[in-house]
Structure 1
Amino acid sequence: MKAIFKGNLFQASRYQGKIRIGSDKKSEGFVEYVDVLGNLHKDHFVRLLDERDLDYLYELSYELKYKGRWFHLFTALNPRAISEDYFEIILSFLDLEEKELAEKLGFERTDKFYYTKRLYRKDIEELKVIELPQGIFSSQGKKERILEGEEIDDYFASITD
């Protein structure tokens, strides 16, 4: 989840009924992060906030266009997936149309109910970035951006920086 607080973007999560934002910089109101084992992390800082204190809160999801069709990105879009050039899409075996499509496009049956296919960056025709507002912001409706070519590479670079 992502949060915008005082105009700055943070990674966020729900924690004890609040929103916890994290940063690698010590700022006012932030404390050193203590993990579940009680270890203190002096290089990571967190702050608990009420949703109403945020400028915006949202989840990201992605779809990839492959062979002229849109597919939900099944794997996380993170630095590791990008550096390993590993993107996985999935189709359901229960839907006859999806089953036929999976067979036509060379998906592999990896489960009783699913077909999956590994894609590489070169296979991605377009990337749809979907912002889903959360909590008190959910009435704002989702936002979508479609990226092509170099825009995709630039977006991936922003994730790995």
Structure 2
Amino acid sequence: MSKYAVYKGKVYEANMRNSPIRLKSRKLDSEFSELVDLAGNIHKDIFNNEVNFDDVEMIYELDYKLIYKGVEFLPLAVGKFSLDEKSITVSTSDRDIARNYGFIRKEPFVFDRSIPLDDIDALIEIKKPILKFKDQKEERTKIDHKDIKTYLANLI
């Protein structure tokens, strides 16, 4: 699951190592600097900023569910890459569901199927607060069929 932090009203990818939280962005904000990796390479298209835990407004994990033919499935991954693939792969361990919905057996008790974006009823975005925010309520947002491609295109 990807982790995100809300910092000064904006959402950023978040990486937590001990105390500081490293925020990542594809756009240069005033407090951000170009990413320098462990080998010393400078990445001019990735920017980061380390902030204190107390400076973020929220930290959450982002998860998804996918609705296909009225049934909820767990997608293996959701991202901008789903637009290029024109589908989202889902998985189940239920043999009856696998047989009824055309899944392919990948391992014993594991069945997958790539669902074309045009066939998805809805995508459910689930924001699960973590760490000191874990007592806050989980947020669920339903992205209807007509809005899925736009939603994917606007992901961080």
TM over 0.5: yes
Residue among 102, 107, 111 paired with 1:111: 107
Q: Report the secondary structure of 1:159's partner residue.
A: coil
More strand by share: 2
Alignment of 1:9-24 (within 5 A): 9-23=11-25, 24=27
Match in the other structure for 2:125: 129
Q: Report the secondary structure of 2:134's partner residue.
A: helix
Q: Is the 8 A contact 2:95 2:109 kept in 1?
A: no
Match in the other structure for 1:32: 34
Match in the other structure for 2:62: 60
Q: How far apart in 1 are the matches of 2:112 and 2:138? A: 27
Q: How far apart in 2 are the matches of 1:32 and 1:56? A: 24
Q: How far apart in 2 are the matches of 1:16 and 1:46? A: 16
Q: Is the 8 A contact 1:56 1:133 kept in 2?
A: yes
Match in the other structure for 1:95: none
Q: How many residue pairs align between the two structures?
A: 153
Shift of the 154–43 alpha-carbon distance from structure 1 to 2, 3 Å rule, reads closer
**Which segment drifts farther, 41-50 or 65-74?**
41-50
**1:56 Cα deviation (Å)?**
1.1
- Taking only aligned residues, the RMSD between alpha carbons, in angstroms, comes to 1.8
Match in the other structure for 1:142: 138
Q: Is the 8 A contact 2:98 2:111 kept in 1?
A: yes
Match in the other structure for 1:7: 9
Q: Report the secondary structure of 1:110's partner residue.
A: strand
Query: Which one-letter code corresponds to 1:102 in the other structure?
Result: A
- Length-normalised TM-score, structure 2: 0.88
Once superposed, which parts of structure 1, at least 4 consecutive aligned residues long, lie more than 4 Å away? none
Query: Which one-letter code corresponds to 1:64 in the other structure?
Result: L
Percent identity, aligned pairs only?
Answer: 30
Question: 5+ unaligned residues in a row in structure 2: which ranges?
Answer: none
Q: Is the 8 A contact 2:123 2:145 kept in 1?
A: no
Question: 5+ unaligned residues in a row in structure 1: which ranges?
Answer: 93-97
Query: Which one-letter code corresponds to 2:109 in the other structure?
Result: F
